[in-house]
Amino acid sequence: MLYFDNAYPLKMGWWDFRYPIMKPGWKSLELKAKTELIPPEAGMPFAFKVGGIEPRLKDGGMFVHFSYIRPTSYTTRDALKEIENRCEQHLVSHNHYMWFNLQKVRAFLVKGTPFLEDMASRYPNKKIRIEFTGDINVEGLYTIFRKYGKIIDITLLPQVGNAPKQAVVQYSKMRASTSAKSCLHGAEVISVKLSVTYEKSLQGNVVMAWVSDHAKIIVPAVAVAIAGLSLVIFDPIREFCMYAKVTQMFSIDEYRFLRWLRKETVGRLTRASTQPLPAKGWHEREIDEAKLRNWLHVPPGLAPSFSSQLQEILDSLTAALQEASPTRGMSNSSVDLILKRIEATVEERARHAILHTDERTYRATRAARKRRERDIAAGWCDPDEIPVVVIDGFMCKKKSEHTKVLWARLAEWAAILVENHLAHVIFVTDNVVASKPLAKVLPNMPIETIMLSDATLESALEFVYKHLDKDEYPDLDKPVQTIGGRLTDLELFIQKIKGGMTPEDAVLDILARAVIEVRKGAFDFNNAEDKVLGWTPLQFWTLMKKLSSGEPAHFDELKVHPLFRNEDAPFAALEQAELISIVHKNGRPFAVRPGKPIYTAAFQNILEDVGFCAVMEIESTSRLQKEEMANVAKWEAELKDLAS
């Protein structure tokens, strides 16, 4: 007989619920055992013929009766060994895995007389008890039982009177013990007759044994159960928080009594305004704000979204949204709730979480409409009842495992809002390539873009004098001209002056910071992260010398420089690092400027470092000389070939 292990699931006890569940699949298992596990007779030696199949459901295997004709050149042992090897080779070559535990099927030759019992009190166990007559030690038992699986321990029990000697063999897996019992019970090995039975154990140990044997199933199942429980508990809370945030359920401004109470208490103690103040006097920002207002008065399907380049647009947008839309609560905070939910999820989970927000957005819009009806009854009415969604920090530079999925799903969600005329969507970003995922999800709609430029000298001075006394600081033209029109640098300049520094010292401090930024970012000084730059220090050195004059450098002239070799990648990497900014004209790169206005002075400061300048010039000249020498050698070789 042959014994095929893992043909059926093991029966762990009377409580094993798998058997009733898998009962409809017994016929398919029996058919698989007869047609696939047993090798075809034509491929077997010695006129091999299958006599019958006897399933052993409790042990998880089956016995196969067979007949054969032994040639005179083979002994019985060698012939049976050859049949066993052929069966094992058949299973290995066909790579048979059973669907109920994803484990392989093994074949063994039955050496004894199996005890075919169906007692309800005996079930498979990792430990088997062996009774034997004769003299055999632990080494002998190990040799006999090792082929069926990995052995954890072998214990020889003390003999009691004239009773047979006993030993306990503990396997690492229960399939090994069932195979050993089925194949070796009643066998006579080395003049020793063996009797193999399962060792009885506590019922609780059986459960733990099954759990430990199926850790690949139990661990994911427990994880799924915990995740499902957390979803059931926290998902309604998340939805309620999102709905409350969008509808301003807990906002003081939505309740008349609370507004009156704040006015009569906090309002009498402080003069600070509770409403954000719009930025006035900045001509460029006023133009951008007017453009934004015009876009927000158009239905979403015609002007769906736009992206900006700088973080400070939020101040201007807040002032515009206060008058343009009564549902401005649909802003950064509501989007942050969505981001927190999807940051720790995979792609499909992120897609479901974001797209499922549409339903809550619609509910929030209905609630907002009811509030607007109350406002209309009170005499106030907004001509455009179009919600506005502001997504701040879109495609920010912080990278994690699921950032690409996050940006793609947010863009898809925004596209659904726009295409269904539910809301305007405004993306605020400092990434120059942020429009690519938006154009991908909205191929047939224009994406309006506002690229915030730095302020002119007049606007920058006007902004500074709105926060500083002009009589106390009458001559700030030169410091402001050095700093430039970048809002963040101007705010830092104002803070330092208010902190007690003179304008000259404040400019020097800001300039020193800019020089450090350029040295560390462009030339890779003090790099502790071992990051790889997208450009070489010599390439940036060439750019820096061109830009130190304060005038924009021609893009095509720099691109054909020998150090750039007509490549666009270094320019894109430098722009991504905010070391330069590329000016486009007629849809293509036209000129290159410093990433910040203060960088012009920083470049000039670096060029005044004689030692560093000499080193970079030597390296640059050496590199160009090597390239020219290589070209000359190539041309000489071509001339020699032509001459010959």
Q: How far is CA 301 from CA 193, 419, 421, 424, 435, in A?
A: 87, 6, 6, 9, 17
Rounded to whole angstroms, the Cα distance separating 33 from 92 reads 15
Confidence of residue 467 (pLDDT cuts 50, 70, 90): confident
Rounded to whole angstroms, the Cα distance separating 552 from 546 reads 8
Rounded to whole angstroms, the Cα distance separating 195 from 130 reads 6
Domain 2-213 is classified in which CATH homologous superfamily?
RRM (RNA recognition motif) domain (3.30.70.330)
pTM of the predicted structure, to 2 decimals: 0.47
Confidence of residue 141 (pLDDT cuts 50, 70, 90): very high
Amino acid at 247: T
For residue 518, the SS3 value is helix
Q: What is the pLDDT of residues 391-431, one digit of tens each?
A: 888 887 656 666 778 888 888 888 888 888 778 888 888 77
Question: Residue 277 gets which letter from DSSP?
Answer: P
What residues form DSSP beta bridges with 33? none
Write out the H or E segment, with its range, that includes residue 193. Answer: strand 192-198
Does the pLDDT of residue 21 top 80, yes or no?
no
CA 531 to chain centre: 20
Confidence of residue 35 (pLDDT cuts 50, 70, 90): confident
Confidence of residue 338 (pLDDT cuts 50, 70, 90): very low
CA 398 to chain centre: 13
| Helices 503-522 + 598-607 axis angle, to 10 | 70
Sign of CA dihedral 279, 281, 282, 283: positive
CB within 8 A of 274, min separation 6: which ones? Answer: 262, 267
Q: Is the Cβ–Cβ distance between 482 and 511 less than 8 Å?
A: yes
Confidence of residue 343 (pLDDT cuts 50, 70, 90): very low
Rounded to whole angstroms, the Cα distance separating 317 from 308 reads 11
Does the pLDDT of residue 504 top 70, yes or no?
yes
CB within 8 A of 515, min separation 6: which ones? Answer: 602, 605, 606
Q: How far is CA 241 from CA 69, 250, 335, in A?
A: 79, 10, 12
Does the pLDDT of residue 509 top 90, yes or no?
yes
Q: How far is CA 156 from CA 163, 194, 245, 336, in A?
A: 14, 14, 72, 66
Structure tokens at 95: 């790579």
Ranges of H-type helices in 389-536: 403-419, 435-441, 457-465, 477-483, 487-498, 503-522
- At residue 149, the pLDDT reads 93
For strands 2-5 and 106-109, give the pairing: antiparallel
Q: What is the mean pLDDT of residues 551-568?
A: 90
- Give the full edge-to-edge strand order of the sheet including 388-392: 305-308, 424-428, 388-392
Domain-by-domain residue ranges, the chain?
Answer: 2-213, 233-441, 457-608
Rounded to whole angstroms, the Cα distance separating 241 from 360 reads 11
Question: Residue 399 gets which letter from DSSP?
Answer: -
Rounded to whole angstroms, the Cα distance separating 4 from 68 reads 18
Does the pLDDT of residue 323 top 60, yes or no?
no
Structure tokens at 351: 């897609």
- At residue 358, the pLDDT reads 53
Which of 511, 499, 565, 509 is CA-nearest to residue 538?
565
Q: What is the mean pLDDT of residues 484-495?
A: 88
Which of 231, 250, 251 is CA-nearest to residue 239?
231
State phi, psi for 635 to the nearest 5 degrees.
-70, -40
Average model confidence (pLDDT) across the chain: 79
